[in-house]
């Protein structure tokens, strides 16, 4: 199906994205616009709502714009990171199992991967339920380009959207489900992104969240404090849950291993 988004400039103006844009087996290039006349480019199937617009970023965020980061993120770092962060063997299949079970994707439903990086979550959900539609959103063009290559190789259809999660280009109650994997710790304004997530999710939707929490071990906490200089933030489980509740979500399930926390959220 086609995708309707909200104009980044005019809150009541809509823009229709043709379904062909999600077919990553065929290159799609062109321009889209709202009835107010604001235009945005689609290049190699990536819907770019930011253009040359730039904003102040932390080191952690700016590193996502490096080609080398996008190239090694999933195949080298992402597949090993959970074992490194939990301090024991933690196969990525366990994460995938939680994602599929908690999100429970359904046919003809719409889901969004927020801060998608290489669209790992979006691709997994699409493999689980081929009849759903996925929006993979990130502000890094380099990450979205890598996501396109991986999805194309796996013959998976996705809408790849370059946008700012603090101002999601969607009308309220658009999505049946949301997912976010590790992005929360990098955000400069996590509460604002969570408020936006609450706005665009349907009242019966599910939000799958993976983020890192403060370690109870003092020497690991020292390293986390140092990482804070690069823009990473860590919360206790209690503090993160309070933040979720403040944004309008309820925690219905949670699984923690080391400093890795998986949370199932629903609108309160």
Using a pLDDT cut of 70, give the percent of the chain over it: 80
> Of the ranges 54-58, 143-147, 211-215, which one carries the lowest mean pLDDT score?
54-58
Q: b/e map of 117-148 (b: 16 or more CB within 10 Å)?
A: bbbbbbbbbbeebeebbbbbbbbbbbbbbbbb
Q: Please give the pLDDT value at position 1.
A: 81
Q: What is the mean pLDDT of the chain?
A: 88
Q: What is the mean pLDDT of residues 72-83?
A: 57
Whether the predicted pLDDT of 262 surpasses 50: yes
At residue 58, the 3 state secondary structure works out as coil
Residue identified by tokens 């936006």 is 196
Using a 10 angstrom Cβ sphere, with 0-12 exposed, 13-18 middle and 19 or more buried, the burial of residue 104 is middle
Q: Please give the pLDDT value at position 59.
A: 45
Q: Are strands 159-162 and 175-181 parallel, antiparallel or unpaired?
A: unpaired
CB 109 within 8 A of CB 132: yes
Q: Please give the pLDDT value at position 114.
A: 98
DSSP per-residue string spanning 22-45: G-TTS---EEEE-TT--EEEEETT
Cα 213 to Cα 220: distance, rounded to the nearest angstrom: 11
Mind listing the pLDDT tens digit for each residue in 88-130?
A: 666 678 889 999 999 999 999 999 999 999 999 999 999 999 9
Question: The pTM is what?
Answer: 0.88
Cα 126 to Cα 173: distance, rounded to the nearest angstrom: 21
What are phi and psi for residue 237, nearest 5 degrees? -60, -40
Whether the predicted pLDDT of 239 surpasses 80: yes
Mind listing the pLDDT tens digit for each residue in 4-47?
A: 999 999 999 999 999 999 999 999 999 999 999 999 999 999 99
Which alpha helices (DSSP H) does 104-230 contain, by range? 120-128, 141-153, 190-200, 218-227
Q: Please give the pLDDT value at position 201.
A: 98
């Amino acid at each position: 199906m086609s995708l309707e988004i909200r104009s980044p400039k005019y809150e009541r103006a809509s823009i229709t994205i043709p379904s062909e844009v999600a077919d990553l087996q065929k290159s799609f290039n062109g321009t889209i616009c709202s009835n107010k006349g604001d235009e945005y480019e689609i290049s190699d199937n990536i819907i770019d709502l930011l253009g040359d617009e730039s904003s102040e970023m932390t080191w952690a965020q700016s590193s996502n714009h490096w080609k080398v980061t996008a190239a090694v993120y999933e195949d080298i770092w992402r597949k090993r990171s959970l074992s490194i962060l939990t301090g024991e063997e933690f196969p990525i299949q366990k994460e995938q199992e939680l994602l599929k079970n908690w999100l429970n994707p359904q046919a003809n439903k719409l889901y969004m991967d927020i801060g998608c990086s290489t669209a790992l979550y979006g691709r997994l959900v699409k493999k689980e339920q081929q009849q759903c539609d996925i929006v993979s959103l990130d502000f890094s063009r380099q990450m979205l380009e890598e996501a396109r290559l991986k999805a194309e190789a796996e013959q998976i259809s996705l809408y790849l959207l370059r946008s700012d999660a603090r101002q999601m280009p969607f009308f309220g109650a658009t999505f049946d489900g949301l997912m976010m994997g590790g992005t929360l710790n990098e955000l400069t304004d996590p509460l604002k992104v969570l408020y936006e997530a609450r706005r665009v999710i349907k009242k019966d939707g599910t939000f799958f969240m993976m983020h890192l929490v403060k370690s109870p071990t003092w020497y690991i906490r020292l390293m986390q404090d140092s990482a804070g200089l690069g823009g990473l933030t860590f919360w206790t489980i209690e503090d993160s849950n309070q933040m979720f509740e403040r944004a309008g979500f309820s925690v219905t399930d949670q699984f923690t291993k080391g400093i890795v926390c998986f949370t199932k959220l629903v609108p309160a």
